[in-house]
């Protein structure tokens, strides 16, 4: 029997990258999966079904309360429960000195990256309380641990996710709900590729700075999320697990 047989997993930001890899892995482990994103996720759904899994897509803007509330309601209405949630949706920002960032850009990054995680918790936790258990994993970043030059809003949002994760874990740890975060290092995703462009020199520069000399794969993050949701992590709560190839060790 697969470890998540008859369980239900919700993944935001599931159209590409880490979200897609994790949604597919949840399905491989037996879970029914709800994939949420503001953009079409048909490729993710197709990959899940091709692997013999079951999934639906729900268009969701994680910065909007009504959307996130409706997402959780749709999940429960379709599959009957919510056992695991991976709050992964996020956006990057252009590199600008702190005082040069437009207020609208700052608000957008905070609204999606940080408020979006909080809204996920706000609507996922009550359902898990009804069930008496559940696991939530939030996506932070190495920028949630250290400052990144010219990425003030992004860095602030990712720091905030770790603090939010810790407080929520304290608030609900005695209620059977575990809440943790993952800290991706440089991962081979469309977001990072968009930052690097088609520049081989930019990729080479990043890889040369990495302890392991290579970018991480989305599947490596998916494996970490699956572990945190598994019974093998039953005493792991309120932590931020770095999956960064040693980036933060330097």
What residues act catalytically? 154
The C-alpha atoms of residue 15 and residue 24 are separated, in whole angstroms, by 11
Cα dihedral 8/14/16/19 (nearest 10): -60
Q: How far is CA 73 from the centre of its chain?
A: 20
**Residues near 226 by beta carbon (within 8 Å), at least 6 away in sequence:** 22, 25, 26, 29
> Which residues are bridge partners to 8 per DSSP?
32
Directed axis angle between helix 17-28 and helix 218-229, to 10°?
Answer: 50
Token readout for 202 is 């930019």
Task: Report the run of H or E that residue 105 belongs to, with start and end.
Answer: helix 103-109
- Cα distances from 9 to residues 92, 142, 194, in angstroms, run 25, 25, 28
Beta bridge partners of 11: 35, 86
Q: List the structure tokens of 4.
A: 């998540």
């Amino acid at each position: 029997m697969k470890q998540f047989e008859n369980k239900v997993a919700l993944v935001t930001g599931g159209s590409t990258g880490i979200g897609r890899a994790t949604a597919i892995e949840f399905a491989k482990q037996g879970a029914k999966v709800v994939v949420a994103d503001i953009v079409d996720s048909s490729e993710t759904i197709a990959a899940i079904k091709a692997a013999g899994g079951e999934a639906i897509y729900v268009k969701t803007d994680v910065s909007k309360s009504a959307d996130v509330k409706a997402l959780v309601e749709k999940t429960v209405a379709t599959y009957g429960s919510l056992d695991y949630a991976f709050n992964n949706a996020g956006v990057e920002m252009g590199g600008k000195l702190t005082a040069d960032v437009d207020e609208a850009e700052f608000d957008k990054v905070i609204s999606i990256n940080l408020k979006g995680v909080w809204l996920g918790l706000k609507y996922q936790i009550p359902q898990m309380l009804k069930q008496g258990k559940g696991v939530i994993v939030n996506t932070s970043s190495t920028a949630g641990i250290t400052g990144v030059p010219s990425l003030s809003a992004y860095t602030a949002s990712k720091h905030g996710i770790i603090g939010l994760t810790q407080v929520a874990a304290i608030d609900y740890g005695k209620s059977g709900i575990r809440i943790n975060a993952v800290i991706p290092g440089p991962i081979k995703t469309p977001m990072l590729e968009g930052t690097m462009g088609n520049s081989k020199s930019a990729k080479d520069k990043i890889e040369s700075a990495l302890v392991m000399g290579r970018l991480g794969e989305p599947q490596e993050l998916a494996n970490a999320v699956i572990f945190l949701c598994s019974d093998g992590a039953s005493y792991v709560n309120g932590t931020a697990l770095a999956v960064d190839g040693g980036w933060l060790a330097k």
